[in-house]
Amino acid sequence: GYGRVWYNCTALMPAVGMFAYTSNVIPGCIGAGRADRIPRYLHRGVLLSLLIMLPLYTLQLFAGGILQHLGVPPENACEVGLYCRYMVITNALTILDGNVENAFVNLGYAKCSTLNSVISGVGMDIMCTYLFIFRWGWGIYGAAFAQIAVKASRLL
């Protein structure tokens, strides 16, 4: 529980909030008949989001030590540290995925985006969680790798 709560509050929520940039500029491009600007805005949105997230990514690298100082038992804090380090990769993929998905939805491909979400969310997530955590017993590594695999599959 500690790892997911820490990651959600200190990395996922800020990253999702940064989707607001492309959520605002892409519909404006389409409405103004300037769809040629969308690639530039996507690049800018992803780059700015990743740059703004750098301090929060650094926070993820030291999550275990920080939580241990806040009173979390050392064995739990160590696992949280491992989980959060791997979740930095997931977060970067989430930023890329969210911006690309926003472009697809605004360009009129909402059904394709929904199908992608169903396949990767239900299919890949359940399969990877089953294989990595329950079948192969990878524990905290399995939980992190399952999320990385799901986010990577959404971008394919």
Under 8 Å between Cβ of 127 and 150 = no
* Mean of pLDDT over the chain: 95
Q: Hey, what amino acid is at 74?
A: P
Cα(56)–Cα(96) distance, integer angstroms: 17
| pLDDT the model gives residue 148 | 95
* Both tokens assigned to 91: 């977060």
CA distance 108 to 20: 18
pLDDT digits (tens, 9 = 90+) for 80-130: 999 999 999 999 999 999 999 999 999 999 999 999 999 998 899 999 999
| Contact between residue 145 and residue 124 where contact means Cβ atoms under 8 Å apart | no
Domain tally for the chain? 1
Q: State yes or no: pLDDT of 2 exceeds 90.
A: no
End-to-end CA distance of the chain, in Å? 30
Residue type (1 letter), 104: F
Structural domain containing residue 118: 2-155
